[in-house]
Amino acid sequence: MGDESDEKEEQQQSWFKVTDRRKFTPQGEIRRETQQEPPQGEAPPKEEKPSGASGEGEASQESPRSDASEPMNFSSFLLSLATTGMVHLGEIPEPTTGQRSENVDAARQMIDILSILKERTKGNLSAEETHLLDGLLYELRMKFLTKSKVI
């Protein structure tokens, strides 16, 4: 019976392979394996493109891309929340279905979340982040008022 459990463990362990892809050895030298071309079937690593000088107006008009190569920062987090609010207001089609639908209560919740973030981060944001947050809140509140027929 002990032999069967050992064989099962060996089979389970052979299902995946761990490959060390670090570029440097513990001594700080470049590994020889990383200097070779990538194996067939694997795409070479993407080169980062320098970001162009774009105005904030462009950033607030476009929906944020989910690009895994760019790290998440506070501004992209705010844009993500605002985009979700715009989807709930029916201003942007829902990504999964491509359909526009309104959920005013969910939009109100996103506005409240952004308002809480503004209050809790007051004095800790850069001028650009503060300007972005104020602009997003203004835009969402105006769209919300239009949709909820309060005006």
Give the model confidence (pLDDT) of 126-140 as tens digits.
999 999 999 999 999
How far is residue 19's CA from residue 31's CA, in Å, rounded to a whole number?
A: 13
**Is the per-residue pLDDT at 43 higher than 80?**
no
The mean per-residue pLDDT over the stretch 51-65 comes to 42
Q: pTM for the complete prediction? A: 0.53
Residue 108: pLDDT band by 50, 70, 90 thresholds?
A: very high
Residue 11 corresponds to which amino acid?
Q
Q: Kindly state the percentage of the chain with pLDDT values over 70.
A: 58
pLDDT at 29: 73
Straight-line distance from the first to the last Cα atom of the chain, in angstroms, rounded to the nearest whole number: 77
Do the Cβ atoms of 132 and 60 come closer than 8 Å? yes
